[in-house]
Chain A
Amino acid sequence: MITGLGLVCPMGNDVETVWQGMLAGKNGFNKTTIFDASTFPSQFCAEVKDYDLSKYTKNPELHKHSNRGSGFVIGATVEACKQAKIDIETERPGDGIDRRRMGIYLGAGEGSVDNDAFFDAVVKAWDVNSNQMNWDKWAQVAFGKMTAMRELEQEPNMPAAHVAMLTGARGPTRSCLTACAASTQAAGEAMMMIRKGAADVMIAGGAHSMIHPLGITGFCRLTALSTRNDSIETASRPFTASRDGFVIGEGGAVLILESLEHAKKRGAKILAEVIGYGSSSDAFRVTDMHEDARGAIQSLEAALKDSGLSYSQVDYISTHGTSTSENDAIETKAIKAVFKDKAKSIPASSVKSMMGHLIGATGAAELITCVLAIRDNIVPPTMNLNDPDPALDLDYVPNKPRRCKVDIAVNESFGFGGQNDVVIIRRFEE
C-alpha cells in the first residue's frame, strides 16, 4: 500500500504544486544557473527552484553537507512522512511503527565532484609537455582544497544515510543506481521487502542531480541532451518527429509503502496499492537499447504477471518517454508488443515533457504522478506534441490532460546500460 507521497522537483517543492502544474501544462525548464553553461552544447536544464532545506528539518546542521540529491530527498521524505503520519526527528516516535521494521530503498545518484578543487588540482598538476600528471603537485592542491565531508557526500549511499538520520529507520536499507531506472526499481524492490515480511514500512524513492559540469559534459558527449537552446520551453518533446534529446532535471521523490494490515492498524490513509513489479536486462549493447525492445517487453510482461492482471485491464501508462530518438521509438514498440489490440487506446503520456528527466529520481517521481492520476481520474499530458512522429502512433495524450477512469497505472523506466523496470499500481479498494 502507498500511504504517503513527497516530491521536490523542477516544477515545485511539494506534490500538489507539481501536480497542478502538470495539469496546467506548465514546465520546469530554465537556462542553467547552477554553473555557467553558456558555452555548452546544451545550455538549459530543469533545476529545482527556491529550495530551502532548513524549512523541512529541525536539525539542518545534521544535513548541511548534503549534496543536491540528498537535500531534495530530505524534503520529499518530510512531506511523505507527514502525509503517512510517521513521526520524524524524534527519539520517541508515537506513530506505532517499529523502527527495526521500517526500511529505506532509494534509487539514488552520486553527488557532484567538488568542482573548484577538482578542476584546479588537475590544471595545476597537469604537465602539458609530457601529457602526464604530477601526482605530488596534484596531492598538494587536493589536500589543500578538498574537504572530507564534501568528498563523502559524493557517495551514492549518502541520500539513504540522510533519510535514516531523519526518520530513525533501522529496517532493511538499500540504495541502488541503475541509471534512469533506479527509483522505479527501488520502489519495486521495496514492495518486495514488505511482501517478504522483512519490513512493515518502506521509505522508497529516488534522489539525484547530475546538473553539474561533468554530468552535463557526459550527456552532451553522448548527444543525449536536447540542444534546442533558443526554445527551452518546448525542448522536451517526447514522441514528436523533431525530438532531439532529453532535458536534464534533478529532484527527490518518496513514496511510503506499507503492508495493508499495518496501515490499517495505524489508521493510515491508503492512496493506492502496488501490485506488480518486473525487472529485466537487455544484455544487448552498451550504448543502445535492444532493437526489438526485448528487455523492455520482458520487464512489462514480468510486472503484469506479478500483478495477476491482463494487459487489457490497464488504464494508463506513464512512459519513460525521454524525448530521445531511440527511447521513444523502442518504447512504443514495446507497448505495442505487450498491449496488443489495446496499445493504441490506452493513454500513454510522458511527464518528462514538463518535468524533465530526473535521472535516478525520475521513476519514483513519475510513480507519484500515477498515484495522483488514479486519485483524480485524470491523465497528465505529453506537452509539446505538435508534430507527431508518423512512426509513433499511440495515444500519447497530446498537450492537454484528459479526464478518464484510471484504476490501474503502469510506470515504465529504462536505464542506460539496459536495465528495465516496471511497477504497476491500482486504486485501493477494501
Chain B
Amino acid sequence: MGSARVVITGIGAVSPLGNSSSELWQGLCAGRCGIGRIGAFEPSGFTCRVAGEVKDFKIRDYIPKTLRKNTKLMSRDIELSIAAAKEALADAGFVTKANETGQVNMDSERTAIILGAGLISCDLVELGPAIAASATDGKFDIRKWGKDGLELVTPLWLLKYLPNMLACHIGIIHDIQGPSNTITCAESSGLLAISEARDIIARGDSDAALTGAAEAKVNPIVMIRQMLLKRATSGYNDEPDKASRPFDAQAKGSVFGEGAGMVVLENLERAEARGAKVYAEIVGTGESNNINAEYERLEADGKGLQVAMEKALSDAGIGPEQLDLVIPHGTGIPRDDIAESKALEAVLGSGIKNIPVFPTKSMVSNTGAASGAIDVIAAVCAMRDGKIPAAKNCDSPAKGCNLNIVKEQIEKEIKYALCCSYTYGGQVAAIVLKKYEQ
C-alpha cells in the first residue's frame, strides 16, 4: 500500500458569488452575499422564497463545439459541474482533449474522476405535458401514463438525472479514463469525494484526480423537501442578504443554493516534476457517522462530527492548537449549529477561544453536495493570500455557540486549515489542509 503525498494543483468554482473561483474568493473577501429571491420558479406559494442562485450562466460557453448536442442531456447539476471542472483543469495547467489548441499533457488513464453529487430532482416543467396527458377526471391515471404519458417523455430522460452523469459528461469532455466514482452522501459528498480521490492517488492507482462536487438545489421538489424537514429558513424572505446566519442568535434555518467546486489533486512528486503550482497538501482526512433517530439532525453533542475531526487531525499528525483556520459546515439551522459548535469545542479544546472560524454559507448559501468542495477552495485561497475574510451575518452568537468567528478580516500566514461537513442521514467528513512549502 503506497502512501504518496497528495496536493491540490487546480481549483474551479461556480457559485452564487460568481462563475469562477476568483469571483468566489473576491466575493467572500468583500462580504458579498449571493442570496436573493428565487428566480428559477415563482416562489410566492412557498414558505422559503430565498436561495443562492448562479447567475448569467450558459453551458454553451463551457462545452467543446463537437459535444454541444450533449447539452440536451444535462440537468443543471451536470452543467455547473462541467464549468467548474473546466476551470480547475485549466488552472492546474492541464491541456485535455477539450482544448482546441495545445498538446494534451494529461495522462487519461492515470487520471481519476471522483465526484460528489446530490439527488438530482427531475424538472417538473419537462414532465408537465406527459403527466397532464395522463389525467382522468382531474386525477393521475397510471394506466393512461403507461399508454400515453410515457411516450411523451423524451427517450433519454433518465440519463439527465443519474448522479454519476456529472462524471460521465466531464469524463467524455476531457477524456478522463481512470477510476471513477460518484459519492452521494448529500451535504458531505464534496469532502468525501475529495477524501476518496486522495486515497486513490495515495495508494498509487492514479497520479492525478479531478474531484469535488456539484449540486443545484434551487428546484421546487428539492426546496420543498428542505422546508418540510424544517431545515430551510422560515424567515428573511424580504431580506435575503440577512437570511443565512450560521451560529447566529437570529438564525431561522438554512438557505439553499446551487454551485460547483472542483479541485485537481496530484501526487506531489508528479506535480513537482512537471513544475505545477501547488496550492496546498491534503494531510489528513477523517470520516464517521452521526447516529440519531432524527435522521435529519445532528446528534445534540455532535459526537460523529467530533470523531471525524479527531481522526482528520490524527491522520495529519497535528494537534488542534496548530490549526490556523476552521471552515465549519455552519448551516444556520439553530440546533445543528449548536451541535456542531459543541463538537468543535470538544476537538479544539482551549483553542476554541482563539482559532479563527469562518463560515461561508452566509454568503455562498448551502449548496448541498458542493458545499464542502467550495469550502476547500475557500481554505486554499485563504492560505494562498494569507488572509481570512470577515464572516457575515454572525452578529450575535447563538446561545451554546462559543466559536471564535472571524469578525474582521485577518491577515496572517495560514499553515493548517480544517474543513468539515455533516449531512442529514449522518455521514460526516473532515479534511486538514497544509500550506505547501517547497
Contact = CB atoms under 8 A, between A and B. Distances in A.
A146 B228 contact: yes
Contacts of A222: 155-156, 158-159
- Chain A, interface SS category: mixed
A430 B265 CA distance: 39
B196 to A, nearest CB: 7
A38 interface: yes
B279 to A, nearest CB: 24
A69 to B, nearest CB: 12
Pick from A110, A143, A161, A195 the residue with the most CB of B within 10 Å. Answer: A161
A394 B425 CA distance: 44
B45 interface: yes
A265 interface: no
Nearest to B227: A143
Contacts of A116: 140
A166 B145 CA distance: 39
Nearest to B303: A170
A298 B131 contact: no
Interface stretch (A72-80, A242-250, A411-419): A411-419
B289 interface: yes
A100 B181 contact: no
Interface in B120-145: 122, 124-125, 127-129, 131-132, 134-135, 138-140, 142-145
Interface of A: 35-41, 62, 100, 103-104, 108, 110, 113, 116, 119-120, 122-124, 126, 128, 131-133, 135-140, 142-143, 146-148, 151-152, 154-158, 160-161, 164-165, 168-179, 185, 189, 192-193, 195-198, 213-214, 217-223, 279-287, 294-295, 298, 302, 415-419
Contact of A279 (B179, B224, B230, B304): B179
Contact of A281 (B143, B177, B426): B177
B196 A36 contact: no
B159 A213 contact: no
Given A36-B143, A170-B307, A419-B181, A148 B296 contact: yes
A139 B288 contact: no
Contact of B172 (A137, A148, A219, A283): A283
B142 A155 contact: no
A169 B304 CA distance: 10
A177 B293 CA distance: 24
Contacts of B311: 100, 198
Contacts of B103: none
A135 B41 contact: yes
A103 B288 CA distance: 8
Pick from A104, A175, A192 the residue with the most CB of B within 10 Å. Answer: A175
Contact of B295 (A103, A152, A174): A152
B295 A161 contact: yes
Pick from B1, B45, B169 the residue with the most CB of A within 10 Å. Answer: B45
B287 A172 contact: yes
Nearest to A286: B73
B192 interface: yes
Contact of A160 (B150, B177, B427): B427
B135 A123 contact: yes
B417 interface: no
A302 B288 contact: no
A298 B70 contact: no
A407 to B, nearest CB: 24
B183 A139 contact: no
A126 B131 contact: yes
B164 A157 contact: no
Contacts of A197: 1
Contact of A165 (B138, B168, B221, B293): B293
B132 A126 contact: yes
10 contacts: A120-B139, A135-B42, A154-B119, A164-B291, A173-B185, A192-B203, A280-B180, A281-B177, A286-B156, A287-B159
Contacts of B139: 120, 123
B397 interface: no
A284 B228 CA distance: 40
B438 interface: no
B8 interface: no
Nearest to A104: B289
A218 B157 CA distance: 6
B181 to A, nearest CB: 5
B163 interface: yes
Contact of B224 (A37, A41, A142): A142
B1 A156 contact: no
B47 to A, nearest CB: 8
- Chain B, interface SS category: mixed
A137 B159 CA distance: 29
A382 B192 CA distance: 38
Given A39-B146, A161-B426, A221 B45 contact: no
Nearest to A294: B177
A222 B160 CA distance: 12
Interface of B: 1, 41-47, 70, 73, 108-109, 112-113, 117, 119, 122, 124-125, 127-129, 131-132, 134-135, 138-140, 142-147, 150, 153-159, 161-165, 167-169, 171-172, 174-186, 188, 192, 196, 199, 202-203, 205, 220-221, 224-225, 227-230, 287-289, 291, 293, 295-296, 303-304, 307, 311, 423-427
Nearest to A177: B184
Q: Which 9 A-B pairs have the closest CB atoms?
A: A218-B158, A39-B146, A139-B45, A281-B180, A417-B168, A136-B45, A119-B140, A279-B179, A172-B287
A136 B42 contact: yes
A120 B119 CA distance: 21
Contacts of B124: 122, 133, 138
Contacts of A192: 199, 203
A165 B291 contact: yes
B153 A172 contact: no
A135 B225 contact: no
A136 B180 CA distance: 41
A124 B138 contact: yes
B199 A155 contact: no
Contact of B180 (A170, A219, A419): A419
Contacts of A143: 47, 224, 227-228
B322 to A, nearest CB: 22
A129 B229 CA distance: 34
Pick from B108, B303, B311 the residue with the most CB of A within 10 Å. Answer: B311
Contacts of A119: 131, 134, 140, 145
Contacts of A122: 124, 127-128, 131-132, 140
Contacts of B158: 217-219, 221-222
Contacts of B147: 39
A176 B200 CA distance: 15
Given A110-B184, A151-B224, A157-B423, 13 more contacts: A36-B142, A38-B143, A122-B124, A123-B138, A152-B296, A155-B119, A157-B427, A168-B291, A176-B182, A185-B181, A222-B156, A284-B172, A416-B159
Nearest to A284: B172
B125 A286 contact: no
Contacts of B153: 217-218, 221
Contacts of B172: 283-286, 418
Contacts of A185: 181
B204 to A, nearest CB: 10
Pick from B46, B144, B163 the residue with the most CB of A within 10 Å. Answer: B163
Contacts of A148: 225, 228-230, 296
Contacts of A164: 289, 291, 426
Contacts of B73: 286
A279 B180 contact: yes
Contact of B156 (A38, A151, A170, A221): A221
